[in-house]
Amino acid sequence: MQFHPARSPLRQGSYRALAATANHFARETHMDELARACGVDALEMRRRNLKDARVRAVLDAAAERFGWPGSRTAGHGFGLAAGTEKGSYLATAAEVSAEADGSVRVRRLVTAFECGAIVNPEHLRNQVEGAMVMGLGGALFEAVRFEDGLVTTDRFSRYRVPRFSDVPEMDVVLLDRKDLPSAGAGETPLVCVAPAIGNAIFDATGIRMRALPLLPRGLPAASKPATPS
């Protein structure tokens, strides 16, 4: 791996979970593509190749609470993602629906999270839920836009963030490991939201999105909700 610094005329700052969000999106999207190329269920593909027992534990917990793979209906899709960051482990499952107007609605998110011994369960649950909501914005529509060399996102009203109406049904499963030291929980729960949603969008529409945000302007005009297989 190489690092190439670059000068930018724009002010820059850290994003929650730093590069882990982009890295998990790339890896877990690719895992989904491999599973489909092999004709293997996305959950089973991960189970067959996982060596880390802690990742497997959160993956199984999320899948069980979600009821993976879910009931197949036209225009609805389901996606999974799992990973680890800052000493914590998580898996997220998502259900989305492709609407007739070209929009996508996230219907349900389930995250299983393990960060060693839990000190304050309610505070931890709040951190996970907050990260999941923040992850919606980065996954679907948060972007700085440019036109003719100028930034057109020049005020907060033009920067789309999640609203109450965007928030889906959410469920959090906390795995308490009293035998392990506590680890960070403020950032990690965000990193699997985007790949889980992206994989669910593909499941619903047959359209693979490989860049974030996934749908800054909705689905491509020519797309149609896929018929469930």
- Residues with active-site annotation: 187
Helix (H, G, I), strand (E, B) or coil at 104: strand
Helix (H, G, I), strand (E, B) or coil at 20: helix
CB-neighbour burial class of residue 87 (10 A; exposed 0-12, middle 13-18, buried 19+) = middle
- Residue 160 contacts residue 218 (beta carbons within 8 Å): no
Rounded to the nearest 5°, which phi and psi values hold at 147? Answer: -155, 125
CA distance 24 to 141: 18
- Residue 58 contacts residue 90 (beta carbons within 8 Å): yes
- Residue 174 contacts residue 113 (beta carbons within 8 Å): yes
Strand-pairing partners, residue 108, are 95, 169
In the numeric block, the tokens 């047959």 are attached to 206
**Sign of the four-CA dihedral 19, 22, 25, 26:** negative
Going by C-alpha positions, the residue among 76, 49, 45, 38 that lies closest to residue 63 is 45
Rounded to the nearest 5°, which phi and psi values hold at 176? Answer: -95, 115
